[in-house]
Amino acid sequence: MILFNLLETQLTRVHSFQEMIKKASVYRHPLANHLMDPEVQKESGEDGDDRTVVAEIMRRCFVPAFVTTIPWEGFHFAGHEIRINEAMDCYGAVVWPSALVLCYFLETNVKQYNLVDKNVIEIGAGTGLVSIVASLLGAHVTATDLPELLGNLQYNISRNTKTKAKHLPQVKELSWGVALDKNFPRASINFDYILAADVVYAHPFLEELLVTFDHLCKETTVILWVMKFRLEKENKFVDRFEQLFDLEEISSFPSLNIKLYKAMKKNQKSACYPQRRMWKAKPISGRLLL
């Protein structure tokens, strides 16, 4: 009887500890942290569509029920469970809210933006979540980032796409504005889509980023770009971007300060791509209507 009581007490402690870790892990996610802010809730109180979609995106996220030596987060996209290893000491090795928004958009708009057998490149791929989802949706994916991030990027992509994806994704180094003609010759690149999530922030390489966008784009290439607005620098970059590209806002998430854009090179739009239509955040059976 004493042994039983001791075992019951120990199990209760373990359960309580696991619940504590779950809560701590969920709150660690930038999106969850942001949504819990009382000021954010107050500001977005009347934006029902925004809050509904954000809540749906959050339901795709899960966390370990116990402490792990390597921090990771889990996601449900494209009919698969995706597990992403993170590094909390590096901006590019954390899953940010913009990536979740882009993944959800790709999954819920497969008719308008069909990625099957399309050539797709992601710049600033970070942990690789967006590239993984694009790959699971049938695309030929090239995931790119700085050399110091490629190890974790390759691990996450291999772990989550091997035997699951139609085409094996590639991982390549891409330092914005550096050796573009050598590593990505214009004559050989033909990307249908460029994906970018939260690549604009307080860094000194915005002009190089613009050059990289321009280099990788053909006249029919579509850029799907999600950005969180933090500083005035983001607005200035958008103004500069619009000098080279036709830019349209597909959707906005006021509670997150996030906007989703579609862009193509100026004056060279192709009729084979969808015409401008706003992405209305009205979920029906877990999907969004355009």
Kindly report the CATH number that applies to the domain delimited by 2-278. Answer: 3.40.50.150
Apex 154 CA angle, 153 and 159, nearest 5: 105
Separation CA 255–CA 225 (nearest Å): 18
Q: Mean per-residue pLDDT for 172-177?
A: 95
CA distances in angstroms from 273 to 235, 252, 259, 263, 276, listed in the order given: 27, 21, 21, 11, 9
pLDDT band with cut points at 50, 70 and 90 for residue 139 = very high
Cβ burial of 96 (10 Å; 0-12, 13-18, 19+) is: buried
Lowest mean pLDDT of 144-148, 149-153, 230-234, 285-289, name the range. Answer: 285-289
- The pTM of the full predicted model, rounded to 2 decimals, is 0.77
Check if the beta carbon of residue 218 is closer than 8 Å to that of residue 247.
no
By DSSP bridging, strand 140-145 and strand 119-123 are parallel
- Show me where the domains of the chain are located: 2-278
pLDDT one-digit tens code per residue, 51-106: 888 899 999 998 877 767 777 899 999 999 999 998 655 555 788 899 999 999 99
pLDDT for 33: 52
